[in-house]
Structure 1
Amino acid sequence: MKPEPAIVEVTETWAGLAGSGVRQWDPLTPVSPEPSEVTVFPEDPVELGEPNVLICIADKFFPPALSVTWLKNGQEVTEGVSETDFYPRPDDSFRKFSYLPFLPSQGDFYDCRVEHGGLPEPFTNGPDPCQPRVGPWAPGN
């Protein structure tokens, strides 16, 4: 079954190198049906009370339009959050990194939520038991 094309709202167009020529991206291009990947991990081994940085990588998505949101105990966090531009991959998909400085404390949970047209629903790295939350303070650790 062929997926229905989706239209994404984008404020910028992208022009990048693809092979030996230049590829122009039209914001009305359908969203890639290929699954995107989201990975979350700490920059350093997590120790309670020691400053660290959580890294969320959204990888293998097209077009270059997505939303990354950090949550602490289910509440949106914006302070200190930074993210990269979109990095093109050799297969014409894209990668983007988001960073959240944090101070690990007993009982705190940090989640990365990614929304993109190529995902069937927003991806959040918790509380799905198949996607454990980051840190030694997560249940069962």
Structure 2
Amino acid sequence: MISGPGFWITFAYYFASTTIIGVLMATQVLGTEFGSALPYQLGLILGLAGGALGGYFNRSQSISGTFKNQKQFLREMETALTTLGYEAQGEIEDYRVYGRSQVRGLFSGKIYVRLEGNAITLMGRSTNLKRLQKALPSFSP
């Protein structure tokens, strides 16, 4: 089964990136040197906030559920994915891969769908899955 980065890995990525940018910006804006403690303190505060927000909104998540009618559900799912800007991009292992095209696809991530009878597993960024779940009335986790 494929899986993406969870909260802590995503937190670490955003924490490190935001801290470095915060320290560099603080030294320029405040006119201080790198030897001063203030830019690092501000960078850590920004890093914690950026890490928490990035970890919450961009972590990978998987949702499993069931549906009653496979054909109807697949139509609803395709319509919902198209409405959200996703299109089929192939398969990896047992998963169908849906992604956005061109520039939008660079920052939004992919959605992975696995069907087994009347059960489905959706995997992707948590914000994308929440939007997709709202658009699928016949899906019950």
With the length of structure 2 as denominator, give the TM-score of the two structures: 0.22
Q: TM-score, normalised by structure 1?
A: 0.22
Judging by fraction of residues, say which structure has more helix: 2
Structure with the greater alpha carbon radius of gyration: 2
